Each structure stands twice: as structure tokens, then as C-alpha cells.
Chains A and B, each alone.
Chain A
Amino acid sequence: MNEEKEVEEQPIPLVIQKLEAHHADALLSQGEMRGTVVVVVRKEQAYAVLEYLKTDPELAYTFLVDITAVDNSQMESELMQFDYARYMVVYQLYSYQGQCRLRVKVPVHENDLNTPSVTGLWQGANWLERETYDMFGINFEGHPDLRRILMPDDFEGHPLQKDYPLRGRGERESFNFDKQNA
């Protein structure tokens, strides 16, 4: 019984309290996973929320650790939960001040792959967004230089999509070295 009570009385993390107070309409879900706070945010307000998280003096998530995406097309439970959005763009943030991590996820539908770029907030986001575009085809609006980074420029398709085969679609055999050099 005592244990149950303790679980109930766990305080709500500050970041969730503050987001509920300032950006309640942007939040789709919030929770904690293995000690990290995870919030899912509407795409339209994603930039505002990330800017708020970075600039708020109490939260100060000044360090952008990572941007990536997950293709949920084979993860039925996630699809159901977030209105069948195929992609989830994932931001990992860290606060030097509070020494804590935060994960912000933004659902992106397949029929509208645009999502705001955060290069205006963090310089480091530039290549991360390029990689996410390269691997998943997500279009970061407002990115200064959104082009492929790891795959060749004339590559077709986005390799980390779940329907892209592990061994490729024959690009290796038909790679045109002469054309590349020209």
C-alpha cells in the first residue's frame, strides 16, 4: 500500500507543468519513459514550444542533442495514438542548468511532410535536419540548405523508410561513376 501511495504522489516534472501552463493547446501527450520526460507536440506549434523550452530561464534546454525521425508505419499502436501520422520527428534536448534530458516528438503525416526547421534556434540543427530529410524525406521548412548529406545527390528514395529494402533497390549495381564525375 505504501509503495502505491508513493507512486501516486510523484511530482509532475516542472517542464510539463510549465508547458501545460503556457502551451497547453500544443501538447498531444506527455509522460515519462525510463527517467526521461517525453512530450508529443503538434507540428504547427513545434517551433514555438522548442523556442520556449530553449529560452525559458527556468527550463533552459539550451543544448540540442539530436534530431531524428522514426517511421511508425509498422508500429500500429503509435499510428493509432497519433492520428495515423507516419513519421515522428524526435528532438533530444538537454539542460545544463537542470542537468536533465527531454524528448520532444512531433508527428508528421505522410501527405504533408513539411515541418518547421529549428536552424534559427540552434546552428547544430542544420546537418541533423539534412540527415533526417535524406533518410526519411521529411521537409524542414525554412532550412537554409536542405539537401542530401549522406546519400549521393542523385539518389532516389529515403533509405530509413520502413518500405525501403535493406539491400537497396539495385543502386549499388547501377551506380554511374562517370556521371558522378562529370
Chain B
Amino acid sequence: MQGGVERATGEKMVLNFGPQHPATHGTLRIVLELDGESILKATPHAGYLHTGFEKLGEHLDYNQYIVVTDRMNYLSPLSNNFGYVLAVEQLLDIEVPKRCQYIRLLMAELSRVADHLLWLGTAALDLGAFSVFLYSFREREKLYSIFEKTTGARLTTSYTRVGGVFRDLYDGCEEDVRQFVTNFPKALKETHTLLTRNRIWMDRTKNVGPISPDDAINYGLTGPCLRATGVAHDIRKAEPYSSYDEVTFDVPVGTNGDAYDRYLVRMEEMIQSCGIITQVLDNMPDGPVNVEDNKITMPNKSDAYGHIEGLIHHFKVVMDGHGVQPPKGEHYCATESPNGELGFYIVSDGTGTAYRIRIRPPSFFHFQALPHMLEGGMVSDTVAVLGSLNVIAGELDR
């Protein structure tokens, strides 16, 4: 790492990395100023995937916007759905039934595992470990078939609704999930044997892209990237939402804040998530999955077709200007998404459409801190560091 400075010749080369590059996993761009192999300056550019999600929020009603949240982080859409409706519900000042909280928690943790698995596969692939990619995608596929059976879609899940979820778990879901959490830790061990003590993997990630705890907080890092520096902060523990206070789990932390620690933290988080999932399944309560308030959630189909009140309620929820209308006010709600703090700041003017929706995406901060981690390192570290941060262009640019 220090070698670059000693060999400085004064001749600079500018290397454009992205926006289309196999290792960027999305359209983002870094302009690297190089002296030989060492990085003098890195300038990240965002905005290639800007879609105007915040502007759209001012024109769609509260339930319609759930569809948009799918598209923000396409690795864990269920966590985004969850974070968004939680913000709206807190603004409405309602609490969903226990069963719904548990279902959401189950889905959020499953999608955390799915997100980390995809991260693991692609980050390892970028550094040349092809078999890890196949192993993690094999496991991820099992999760995606559970998501597909539950929500009807693999990627665009749109599972949650304001005041509930759009349908209960399918019959046999518990067995599928139990089977997954029983087999998964064994499968993850395979990856551990492939990577954790692997000479090449350690050389490419240890002391690569380190960041100190103070700098991490200063730059706004959250989630696994913050915990890898040794800060044991997890919103699930600090501000428990949706029954997270009823499950026990550990918050894994690293020591150096480098790419290797980020890897280890994510690996352990997957195991912790499996623990949470087992507890959720053991204690899954019965009962309704939607709040019993006809002004917020849809009536069931037999009511809508068979009774005039049901029909009216159905129309009231669906029609423009009659659906969910939070009182005038504003609220910021943060959830621990797989990548870090995902926050929704919603300003309501009392109508069925938000006056302003602001999304606080974790990737925005991680990408911003990239030069801090890269400068002084080698050009080949770019891929390792970028991979370890798991920057998702969809939520970076919104």
C-alpha cells in the first residue's frame, strides 16, 4: 500500500471506471487518477440511474408508492417495502397486528440473507472466486422460490400494504423456511472453507479499504460497513420496531473496518438472521394480518362482493382521494435494511398523496466515502472495496 508513494514518478494517468463495468453491478462511475498502480485520487460520480422516485412520491398515493420501493434496492425489495409502510403507519399512528409484525420480520430477515448472499456471490466473483458465486446463488434460489410463493413475484414483491400485508403466508411456508434455515448454515460453512482462510481472498481483502470508526460515522456509514469498524450499532437493537425487541440476536462487529471485516460481519449476520427466523417461526401468533380499520386496509373479497358495506369500503380505499390519508405532519422512520439505515421522511398535508417523500439510502453514503477508502491504495483494490460496500445504483440515485 505505501509502495505507490515511494515510486511516484510524477506522471499521472486518468482511468475511467464505469459507468458500464462488470464489477460496478449497476451504472456508477469512478474516475481514478493513477500513478502507476497506485491511486492518487478517486472521484465517484452518481446519477446514471436517477429515476425521480422522490418526485413520483408526490404524485402517487400511499399504497401505489409501495411498487416504487421495490425498484430502489433490487436485492432486498421486501426490506424496502417494509421500511416504507412502517413510516406511513407511524405517521398514521397505527400498529399492525402481531401476526403481521412477525410475518414482516420473517420476510425482512429472509431478504437480509438473500441480499448478503447475492453480495457474497458477486463480491467473490469480482475477485475471481467463481465457485462461491455458484454456491451462494444456489442458496439464494431457494429463498427466491419462497418469496415467489409468498408474494407472487421474485423481484417486484410489493408484499406489504399500509396496515398489513397483501396476503397471509402460504400453506407449507413454515416447512420451507425451516428446511432452509436448517440447511443454510451448513451450506455457508462451505463458503467459509473456500474463502475465510483462503490466502488469495485474505490478501485481496485484508487491510484493503479500511476506515476508522470516527471516519465511518463522519461519512454517515451504516449497517455492516459501520459495524465492521467496531461500532456495535444496529437500529433493530437501538430503536426496536415491529417486534424486534421480542427476538434475541447478536450484533457482530469487526475491528479494522476493512473489506475482510465487512465480509466477516455479513457472514455472521446471515447466521444471526437464521436464528431470528427460527424464533419468529416458533412464536408465530395466529390472527389477522391486517389492521381492522376499513379506512386503511381493503376488506376481504367475499365482503367486497357480498355486502354493500364491503363494496363501499373497497371503493373508498382504492379511489383517488379517498384512501389512506395520514394527518397533517411529518415523520422520519429508519429501519435496518441489509445495507444499513434506510430512512423514509414523509411530509403529509392531510391528503391521500404525500407532500414530500425523502428516501435516505445507505448506498449514497457508502459510495461517497469510497475515495477515502481507495486513495493511497492500488488500482486492483477498487474492485475489492467497491464490492465490499455493496453499492446499489437503484437506491444510490433513486
A contacts, CB < 8 Å to B: 33-34, 36, 38, 62-66, 68, 70-71, 74-75, 77, 90, 92, 96, 99, 101, 103, 122-124, 126-128, 131, 135, 148-152, 159-160, 164, 166
Contacts and interface: CB of A to CB of B under 8 A. Distances in A.
28 contacts: A33-B331, A36-B331, A36-B332, A63-B220, A65-B332, A65-B343, A65-B360, A66-B332, A66-B358, A68-B358, A75-B349, A90-B358, A92-B332, A92-B360, A122-B218, A122-B220, A123-B215, A123-B368, A123-B372, A126-B368, A127-B368, A148-B47, A150-B50, A151-B50, A152-B47, A160-B55, A166-B56, A166-B58
A64 B233 CA distance: 15
B95 to A, nearest CB: 13
Interface in B219-269: 219-220, 231, 233, 238-239
Interface of B: 46-47, 50, 52, 54-56, 58-59, 90-91, 93, 215, 217-220, 231, 233, 238-239, 328-332, 334, 341, 343, 345, 347, 349, 355-356, 358, 360, 364-365, 368-369, 372, 397-398
Nearest to B360: A66
A77 B328 CA distance: 10
Given A70-B355, A124-B220, A151-B50, 17 more contacts: A34-B90, A34-B93, A34-B331, A36-B332, A65-B220, A65-B332, A68-B345, A68-B358, A96-B231, A123-B218, A123-B372, A124-B368, A128-B364, A135-B54, A150-B397, A151-B47, A152-B47
9 nearest CB pairs, A to B? A124-B220, A150-B47, A150-B50, A66-B360, A68-B358, A127-B368, A123-B218, A124-B219, A34-B331
Contacts of B329: 33-34
A65 B329 CA distance: 20
B341 A65 contact: yes
A131 B56 CA distance: 17
Contacts of A90: 345, 358
Nearest to A64: B220
Given A124-B219, A160-B55, A99 B238 contact: yes
B217 A62 contact: yes
A127 B233 contact: no
